[in-house]
Structure 1
Amino acid sequence: MDQPTVGILHPGSMGAAVAACAATNAAAVLWCENGRSTASVERAARFGLTSVATLAELLERSDIVISLCPPASAEDLARDVAGHHFAGVYVEANAINPERTQRIAALLPDATVVDGGVIGSPPVGGKTPTLYVAGPAEATARIEALFANTAVQATVLGTEVGKASALKLSYASFQKTSRVLVALAVGMAREHGVDQELIEVASRRTDSYLSESQYVAKTAARAWRWGPELEEAADALTAAGLPPEMLRAAASTLARWNDAKDSELTLTDALDRLAQP
């Protein structure tokens, strides 16, 4: 099979690193510089992505397009792509709920839509995330081939669009909400001068996030994208007849850190912002 040309929409910290892995088995990996930030330009250059001037050019040249953007933008991005009658493989790899994924598939009648979900950290510094995919067998096989022998492991879940999104949000519901609870627990303990004692108690259990309070600052820096992801997971719970309130509360808590986007905070800074937004 000839090496495909791949387009990435848009190269954030995860998207750029995933795209760089795809470059191993692709003829080229393209991204559209129009309207993107200086940080995106620098990131794309660092990962060796090829810039094109317009979305139309990217879609015309690409056999496979991977959408990795903030959840709120997923449908708008798909509509933009649909407007150009893209007829290749469209990997909807955003952290959105299964119903939205299916709506996006319906927005792209000319394309072959693959449902995707990345679990794990961006594939840099030895990290090896898994890209779970679901959709037509021929298309998911192409995605497996695209990431063969790279730091991204592509795993097929079957042909039903929505399965990969469901797995991603099921995992995110626990992993992200539990770290919000760590922030609240440590913040409460600090208010009463027993935060070190709390961490000592938790450290006796090797499976407790409470013993890893350094993650609070990392959580604060990622809150701007984790919050919307948990809102998507809450919608998925609602659709399943399950109570969404805990995840919505966690998303609301994360919103107190929205202005800390990608910043380098200390634990004290993060807890102060949480207490006094």
Structure 2
Amino acid sequence: MTTVLLLHPGQMGTALGVQVRLGGGRVLWSPEGRGAASGRRAAEGGFEAAGSLREGVAAADVVISVVPPAAAEETAEQVAAAGVPRIYVEGNAISPHRAQRIAALFPPQGFVDGCVIGPPPGDRVSARLYLSGPQDAVEVVGGLFRQSAVEAVALGEAIGAASALKMAYGSFQKTSRALAAVSHALAAHHGVERELVAEAERMAASALAEPGQLPGVASRAWRWAPEMAEVAHALRAANLPADLALAAEDVMHRWDPDKDATGLTLDEVLRHLRDPSGED
């Protein structure tokens, strides 16, 4: 049985951990420095408390990091200080440059660059886990998800390939939603919302034709904004313009007060774009 240390049990990480357990793996988590919400998700996922981070790293065959992008490097440094894991999976939405910098903290044969595309996997939904790094390590990680709702896809041995895919996908996926929100806000300001939606419905399926998604976008924007900063870094490294990603980051920061909010209305979300304080 393969033992996995999950850092940390957020929504996506918990879903991945559950899939590991369904495949016969053992999942640990470290309560050290974590809050009640993490503890609740870990309990619901059936994960075992490992005590300290050092104890978890020592007990695990594979350490998987699925945290907000801004915390990816700090999390990796904490693990490296706690011990040398057999395999460390950097599964966060970060630029290839940051993935390579984090890889330098670990033995090259035991570092896997990963990215998850798709919703948190479960009974009725699936996701793809793209992996790049040493073939033996990639095969071990991919084997954790056989016969699960996660399709593991190997991308070769280049560290940064999986992160680059996430940046390329996220550049469109996240930015297009920010653009849709701005478009709907402008239309609402001039009283032409219905006409905008009617025109969008004549287009191929897009976020612009589904404004009902935007309250959910606003509540998650606190996690997406740092990802846009990573996209900008990746674009600059490829000598491509980063202005759109940086603009999307700015738009998403306007929703910082809506962090994890439930019950938001579309009108509120669009109004907060004009005035993040909500006083407009």
Cα pair distance change 1:125/1:206, threshold 3 Å: farther
Aligned to 2:223: 225
State the alpha-carbon separation in 2 of the partners of residues 214 and 125 from structure 1. 24
2:33 is the counterpart of 1:35: yes
Deviating runs (4+, > 3 A) in structure 1? none
CA RMSD of aligned residues (A): 1.3
CA distance in structure 1 between the aligned counterparts of 2:108 and 2:96, rounded to whole angstroms: 20
SS for the counterpart of 2:164 is helix
Structure 1 Cα separation of the partners of residues 167 and 25 of structure 2: 32
Q: Deviations over 1:213-246 (max 9, x none)?
A: 1121111011011110011010000011111111
5+ residue gaps, structure 1, are: none
| 1:28 CA drift (Å) | 1.2
**Mapped contact 2:54–2:83 kept (Cα < 8 A):** no
Q: Which moved more, 1:18-27 or 1:135-144?
A: 18-27
* Equivalent in the alignment of 2:273: 274
- Residues 36-185 of structure 1 correspond to what in structure 2 (within 5 A)? 36-109=34-107, 112-185=110-183
Quick one: distance in 2 between partners of 1:165 and 1:159? 13
1:191 match: 189
Question: Identity of counterpart residues, as a percentage?
Answer: 45
Per-residue CA distance 1:30-51 (angstroms, 9 max, x = gap): 0111221211111111111112
Q: Partners in 1 of 2:66 and 2:85 — Cα distance?
A: 19
Structure 2 length normalisation: TM-score? 0.95
Q: Which amino acid counterpart does residue 230 of structure 2 have in structure 1?
A: E
Q: Gapped runs of 5+ residues in structure 2?
A: none
Q: TM-score, normalised by structure 1?
A: 0.96
Give the 3-state SS of the residue equivalent to 2:33 in structure 1. coil
Alignment equivalent of 2:236, drawn from 238, 241, 245: 238
Residue by residue over 1:9-30, the C-alpha shift from the partner in whole angstroms, topping out at 9 and shown as x without a partner, is 0111101101111112344100
Separation in 1, partners of 2:150, 2:179: 30
Specify the SS of the correspondent of 2:116: strand
Q: 1:263 aligns with which of 256, 261, 264?
A: 261
Give the Cα–Cα distance (whole angstroms) in 2 for the partners of residues 47 and 269 of structure 1.
34
